[in-house]
Amino acid sequence: MTISLDPTAYLLIAAALLALSGVPGLLLNRPLFGQRSAALCAVGASILGECAVIALLGGTPGATWQIDWPLPFGPALFSADLLSTIFLLPLFLVTGCASLYSLAYWPAREKSSAGKLTLFLGLFAAAMVIVVMARNGVLFLMAWEGMALSAYFLLTTDQQDSDVQRVGTVYLLATHTGTMALFALFSLLRGTTGTFAFPLPHTLSQGVPYATAIIVTALIGFGGKAGLMPLHFWLPGAHANAPSHVSAMMSGLMLKMGVYGILRTLSFFDALPVWLGWLILLLGAWSALNGIALATGQRDLKRLLACSSIENIGIIFIGIGLALVGMQTQSPYLVVCGFFGAFIHIINHSLFKSLLFLGSGVLIHGTGTREIDLMGGLARRMPVTSPLFLIGSLAICGLPPLNGFVGELFLYVGAITDGVTAPLPLAALVAPVLALVGGLAVITFVKLYGIVFLGSPRSAAAAHGHEATAMMTGPMVLLAAGCLIAGMAPVLLMRLVAPVVEYYGNVAGDVMVQVTGQVPLVPLTIANCMLIALGLAIGAVYLRRLHRQPALYGSTWGCGYLAPTPRIQYTGTSFSELVVNLLGTLVAPRRQRPGLDCVVLPRPAQFHYEVTETVLNQVLTPVFHWTGLAFSYVRRLQHGQIHVYMLYIFVTLFVLMIWTH
Amino acid sequence: MSAFADQLLVLVMLINLVMLGSSRLIFSIRAVAAQGVILGILPGLIHPFSGHLAAITAGIILAKGILIPYLISDAVRKAQIRREFEPFLGYVPTLLLGAVFTALSFAFAEKLPLAPEHKDLLFVPAAIATLLTGFLLLTTRRKAISQVIGYLVMENGIFIFGMLLTEAMPVMVEAGALLDLLVGIFVMGIVINHISREFSSLDTSRLRTLKEE
């Protein structure tokens, strides 16, 4: 039996299912049932959505659905093309995993906010599905606003916490500033085309009025959501303070909506200005470098992961920038490799960053803290989470045999083939930048994994850390398997993305074959297999020796002391101190050293260290402070005298009456 | 008939001035009740008779002439106040201002682009004059009860303006407006009760302590 519904319809059904998934939990007075039914709905929707995505990638064209609503902005148009699928693919996967995970992480039995969380989680996912399917500017903005607001409510689940309130406000200000730019964008687009419906791909010429303004507003509005420097300031705080599965969705999925917006806007034009490719490349490189530099110095587990999201978004934008530059200089290698790198990294980052955020949720659940320097020795206490977290960490560093390497490999190939042979080989500089970023990422994640999982516990909370239930580790296993499969069989990943690159980059089939033939994917698979085999062999030898000769257990980092304390271990801060000092200009660490005002013996002293957000703390906060001072004069108008308020209205009316003559 | 309507409108404007000049609350309430009754009669004078019209007339006289004044005087009795003390602006200056505003509203109505059949009537200037009187009462008086009266007078002004449209005005809109007013008065009555219980005064200028810093 075949049901001849087109993929768009499936996707719309999935979106509706997601949006309504939290409603029963609100209406019925049975929170546990509500949460379970919502998770069931979300998983069902995810499976449905993935089926539709696979159909689309397989070549089934998605129909355009038109819904005539009474609003005066033209009909609501929904459609799904290949560009949408590259975002829908991870969206449904991560949503399903996150909603299963939430059953154990935020159980309705213990937390009263579970109903609210479940409702907005569904709405959030549904809004993102609609964002990538909307083909009308107003519909897009509505979905965009729905996504931004439900993210706000998800992020402020712990609304009693003053930190959460503060980052929530920063997020809300940032997202609405971005939305303001989007209002300008879609108004300009309407001014150009005469309708709110999206123009067909490549139909706007570069010379249309406002073309530059459209591109710039898109960069501001969507770039802010993606977390592109310097509009990233809301991101670390928001990701760190949200519940972990929400952070996974925000980082893995919501940031990508910004990338989608930029790609969609650029697709309207048949040719793009020369500076745009370089600008995006530059912003991407800056985000990647600065993001990972910020991540290196962090002490907060989730803040570190959030900063590394900025880095990964930077890598995605490096890919897009390379491709755009390639379009200008007519070099197919740059176009194909750039888009491949960007699209593959979009999928990969969703996989491993969600895995890491879910893992951080397990850590927080087990130890009750987010502070890296209070953890330690958790590998023994969390035997399932530890290897999963290791897989995520390796993948995010871009090391083989995991998937992070594949996307970056394409970028390297692009940079050192056409990038080098160009008359002015500026694009080739991408390779050293990527290498630097990769190196810093390795330092960051060695620090993260080493301090958290190895050594001995640095606090009582870490010593009592415990493993999570299968409901929490199950989704992580799924994501880790995704990372591993994509890394082991990169050809699979390439086949998946190839139609999208062909469609979006307007690349001819033979050029695709020629370029992708240059990328050593098959040797990579063989090398990966050998690597795994080697690892397994070493493991087997080790286990046999362990079996023959029972191990002696001593304290880690004991260094021969008889009574070592956990405090003689490296902390995360000390591990990364060298790098943070080298990158001082990017990271701006703030230290408060103890004063050595001793006479004979030093007195007890305090040492305080934190990594600051340059944009937020040194630019935006002072600006808002001074603006507040400037407007305090205006606030004198509001003094509490009702009569004078009436007088304001009276005077206004009077002035208006006189004005009319 | 319209000559008689004009005379009634002059009466309405005179009542405005009476309210501006008086300090006794009960007197003001009676004046606003009288104004309400006149407003109830007016539609019958300018429009041909119909069931709709009769219903409107009855409803308005009932609400504006009896029910609302009763509610306010009840509040006055409960709060045990008789006079408006120390208004922000004295009675004579407000009276003079009221006269100036009435004159200005005539000048303003002259220049409005009205339909020809409304040109010669006093409706528009009377409406504006009453509206401005209401505003004057709201801004210059201190007691919460006087503010309610000011609000009522303002509503009366709007009502006079709406009278030009009585034929076009469906019953539902009319009823909705009246209900709105009634609920407004109810809420104000409750608020007044609470203010007087809480602060043992009905001086709205003391409400500034509630301001959010």
For residue A220 the two structure tokens come to 């501001």
**Domain encompassing residue B170:** 2-210
A171 domain-assigned? no
In A75-198, DSSP assigns E strands to 76-78
The conformation of residue B24, written as its DSSP 8-state character, comes to B
> Tell me: the pLDDT tens digits for A318-359?
999 999 988 888 888 888 889 999 999 999 999 999 999 999
Q: How many domains does chain B have?
A: 1
On whether any CB of chain A is under 8 Å from the CB of B199, the answer is: no
**Domain encompassing residue A303:** 277-507+515-547
DSSP H or E segment with residue A610: strand A608-611
Higher local confidence (pLDDT), A17 or B52: A17
pLDDT value, residue A556: 61
**Angle, to 10 degrees, between the axis of helix A211-226 and the axis of helix A274-297?**
20
**Residue of chain A nearest B211, judged by CA positions:** A640
For residue B210 the two structure tokens come to 């509630």
| Mutation for A interface: B139, B149, B211, B213, most A CBs within 10 A | B139
For residue A252 the two structure tokens come to 């893995």
A401 domain-assigned? yes
Alpha-carbon distance of B164 to B46, in angstroms, equals 9
Model confidence, pTM: 0.79
Give A-chain residues touching B136 at CB under 8 angstroms.
Answer: 650
Mean pLDDT on A287-305: 90
A27 domain-assigned? no
Q: How many domains does chain A have?
A: 2
pLDDT value, residue A321: 92
- Do residues B114 and B90 lie in contact, with contact meaning Cβ atoms separated by under 8 Å? no
Q: Does the pLDDT of residue A2 top 70, yes or no?
A: no
Alpha-carbon distance of A307 to A300, in angstroms, equals 11
Alpha-carbon distance of A96 to A45, in angstroms, equals 8
On whether any CB of chain A is under 8 Å from the CB of B206, the answer is: no
**Angle, to 10 degrees, between the axis of helix A521-548 and the axis of helix A470-488?**
130
Alpha-carbon distance of A340 to A417, in angstroms, equals 15
On whether any CB of chain A is under 8 Å from the CB of B103, the answer is: no
Alpha-carbon distance of A497 to A253, in angstroms, equals 17
pLDDT value, residue A419: 67
Mean pLDDT on A470-499: 89
On whether any CB of chain A is under 8 Å from the CB of B7, the answer is: no
A66 domain-assigned? no
Tell me which residue of A492, A531, A303, A503 sits closest to A400, measured CA to CA: A531
A344 domain-assigned? yes
**Looking at the structure, do residues A399 and A540 belong to the same domain, yes or no?**
yes
Name the CA dihedral angle for B35, B41, B45, B46, rounded to a multiple of 10 degrees. Answer: 70
For residue A26 the two structure tokens come to 């609100």
Alpha-carbon distance of B136 to B157, in angstroms, equals 13
- Do residues A309 and A292 lie in contact, with contact meaning Cβ atoms separated by under 8 Å? no
Q: CA–CA distance from A283 to each of A277, A317, A588 (Å)? A: 10, 8, 20
Phi/psi of residue A21, each to 5°? -60, -30
Q: Is B96 exposed, middle or buried (0-12, 13-18, 19+ CB in 10 A)?
A: middle
How do A608-611 and A589-592 pair as beta strands? antiparallel
pLDDT value, residue A632: 86
- Confidence category of residue A417, pLDDT binned at 50, 70, 90: confident
- Do residues A468 and A385 lie in contact, with contact meaning Cβ atoms separated by under 8 Å? yes
Contact A650 B139 (CB under 8 A): yes
**Looking at the structure, do residues A477 and A618 belong to the same domain, yes or no?**
no
Across all residues in chain A, what is the average pLDDT? Answer: 87
Tell me which residue of A94, A114, A91 sits closest to A15, measured CA to CA: A91
Give B-chain residues touching A653 at CB under 8 angstroms.
Answer: 135
> Tell me: the pLDDT tens digits for A625-647?
999 898 888 888 877 777 788 88
- Do residues B135 and B150 lie in contact, with contact meaning Cβ atoms separated by under 8 Å? yes
List b or e across B184-195, with b for residues whose CB sees 16 or more CB atoms inside 10 angstroms. ebeebbeebeeb
**Looking at the structure, do residues A499 and A622 belong to the same domain, yes or no?**
no
**HSE, side-chain direction, 13 A CA sphere, residue A379:** 13
> Tell me: the pLDDT tens digits for A511-554?
888 888 888 888 888 988 999 999 999 999 999 988 888 777 76
Enumerate the β-bridge partners of residue A592. A608
Mean pLDDT on A203-222: 88
Rg (CA), chain B: 18
**Looking at the structure, do residues A351 and A434 belong to the same domain, yes or no?**
yes
Parts of chain B with a pLDDT under 50: none
A172 domain-assigned? no
| Mutation for A interface: B135, B147, B203, most A CBs within 10 A | B135
- Do residues A497 and A504 lie in contact, with contact meaning Cβ atoms separated by under 8 Å? no
- 3-state SS assignment for residue A376: coil
Alpha-carbon distance of A402 to A181, in angstroms, equals 38
Mean pLDDT on A584-603: 73
Alpha-carbon distance of A225 to A615, in angstroms, equals 16
**Looking at the structure, do residues A500 and A635 belong to the same domain, yes or no?**
no
pLDDT value, residue A600: 76
Last residue of a domain, one of A499, A529, A547: A547
- Confidence category of residue A1, pLDDT binned at 50, 70, 90: very low
Would you say the ipTM is above 0.95? Answer: no
Polymer length in residues for chain B: 213
Nearest-by-Cβ selection for B138 from A638, A639, A646: A646
Mean pLDDT on A66-85: 87
pLDDT value, residue B167: 60
Give A-chain residues touching B132 at CB under 8 angstroms.
Answer: 650
pLDDT value, residue B81: 72
**Looking at the structure, do residues A345 and A444 belong to the same domain, yes or no?**
yes
On whether any CB of chain A is under 8 Å from the CB of B207, the answer is: yes
CA distance, residue B86 to nearest chain A CA (Å)? 14
Nearest-by-Cβ selection for B108 from A640, A649, A657: A657
